[in-house]
Structure 1
Amino acid sequence: MADPKFEIQMLHDRVMVKVEQEREERRSSAGIVIPATVTMANRLIWGEVCGVGANARLVKVGDKVLFNAEDQYEVEVHGQVYLVMRERDLHAVATPQSEQGTGLYL
């Protein structure tokens, strides 16, 4: 008998985010190569929202969000690691051009 498949539904204001993979090395704005072994303290990262609870008000599936990966819960589904957090733990959402944004674009 085959194992049943279950759909994951986030509860309350919880958000499930797939973390964007870091490249092996980064370049600073001045062109300096930063090796992958160098870690930066308190670095926020971007991820893609893969699931939202019914009480999440500002994000939807597919949004790119900025957050601190430290102190978040990890879950692995089919070999892919996701982070689960409250919506209030997100720092920013990347959206198309709007009237009230920062003027910065990805």
Structure 2
Amino acid sequence: DHDTSFTVMDRMPEGAAATLEAFPALAHVPVLRTWTGLEGATPDGIPVIGPGEGTPDLWHVFGFCGHGFQLSPAVGDVVGRSLVSGTVDPLLAPFSGGRFDAGDAA
């Protein structure tokens, strides 16, 4: 919204140096464009993880408020186990999107 996503050009050299340190094989790959995006956030700062309330075959996993990369291994494990077993792991109960139903929002 309102043009709030932009590339911070003065950080590009530092980011490129860190990338090349981790992945030296990319040294000769030209940078043609950059991409930015808005970070997903929820009103309570806690992600939504689980099947849709009216669409149980459609799972939602979003709103990590900047912590998705760190949490993805654990979230992937519990979501994967839930999908394979066909039963939502009880650990996911606090992350249900239903917590935002009328009167329940944080």
Q: In which range does the TM-score fall when normalised by the shorter chain? A: under 0.3
More helix by share: 2
TM-score, scaled to structure 1:
0.26
Larger Rg: 2
More strand by share: 1
Higher relative contact order (CA 8 A, sep 6+): 1
TM-score, scaled to structure 2:
0.26
